[in-house]
Amino acid sequence: MALFNNFRGFHFIFFCLIVYSLLFFSGYSFHLEPNIFFSETTFDVRLIAMFLIAEPHFAMTLPILYGYKENFIKKPTQYTYIPLLIVTVGSLMFFQMNSIFLLLFLVANIFHVNRQSGAFLMIQAKTPFQMKMPYEISLHLFTFVCLYFSLILRHHSLISGISLFLLANIMILSIFRLKEGFWPSLRQIIIIAQGYLVFLPLAIFSDMLLAFAIGISIHYLQYLSISWKLCKVGFGFSMKIVLLVLLTYTVISSSALAGFISNERISLIILIPTMMQLLHFYYDSLVWQRKDPIVAEKMLKVL
């Protein structure tokens, strides 16, 4: 856990890249042999990533919201009414307009992930703040180009993916040079590249769930690290209780989403964890806002 407490350090950055690499190469084996799927002799990268990091990351919303429980009274519109509206409209769309719902869910997910990449650029690389906006815009553009290759062109290739990755990095580094008058350090370059690694697998793997499981692993680990420290240092929670909450939620949600409870893809069993994920995207825009004095007080202890 000491590694997670120091989310700024290079050891943590290196750890995220190692996990990403392991998932990537394991997933690439799956990609080359698509008939391999969670048998007695192999494991499914998607399920492993879901259970170990994806669902715990979503579960972290619960203790964080408990830590900011006074905001449910001070800001009922943002913390209660809008989430209720999201759940109501989202549930109707999930059952009646599932394709549109999935599209909106995808866009919310992309915005949420790239927004965090921009924040971690500031935290880990300590780049000038004026680089945050162009970096996030470039991440969005890169993501949608990868989606274009994946969904429209139906073209998946390691060479194409690496080419897009290099092009995106060259462009943002050039913008950095033009805006700041100097090139970023090697550490900053590595941290900048992390953001593009997240959605890079979309251009490489034909299985979109596999691509997300591999790429967003960096995001999951970053979120878990800063949230863990927030719960421990900012709120002073018992981390044994937090761990129990994460484990309980993860077991239930992973079982539901993986089809261990029901094989129906449009059902209440799938709706509940999906709505939790959607609320996670929304609440994430609130619980890290340092202009909120309550949030700023807690974040001061973390950052």
Would you state the structure tokens that stand for residue 121, as one six-digit string? 């650029």
- Looking at residue 87, what is its pLDDT? 96
36, 255, 249, 91: CA torsion to nearest 10: 110
pLDDT over threshold 80, residue 216 = yes
- Out of 6-10, 14-18, 58-62, 104-108, which region has the weakest mean confidence (pLDDT)? 6-10
Kindly state the tokens that stand for 83.
């989430």
Check whether 234 has a pLDDT greater than 50.
yes
Separation between Cα atoms, residue 174 and residue 168, nearest integer Å: 10
Determine contact, residues 290/106, Cβ cutoff 8 Å: no
Exposure on the CB side of residue 16, measured as CA atoms within 13 A: 29
* H/E run at residue 152: none
| pLDDT tens digits, one per residue of 48-86 | 888 889 999 999 999 999 999 999 999 999 999 999 999
Per-residue model confidence (pLDDT) at position 3:
59
Query: What residue type is assigned to position 3 of the chain?
Result: L
Is the separation of the CB atoms in 139 and 118 below 8 Å? yes
Of residues 246 and 7, more confidence is placed in 246
Q: Which of 37-46, 99-108, 154-163, 250-259 shows the lowest per-residue confidence on average (mean pLDDT)?
A: 37-46
Cβ neighbours of 285 (radius 10 Å): 12
DSSP character for 35? Answer: T
Q: d(Cα 46, Cα 257) in Å, to the nearest integer? A: 11
pLDDT at 2: 57
Q: Based on the number of CB atoms within 10 Å of its own CB, is 34 exposed (0-12), middle (13-18) or buried (19 or more)? A: exposed
195 contacts 115 by C-beta, under 8 angstroms: no
Average pLDDT over residues 86-102: 95
pLDDT tens-digit readout, 22-56:
999 888 776 655 554 444 434 577 888 888 899 99
Mean pLDDT of 214-223: 94
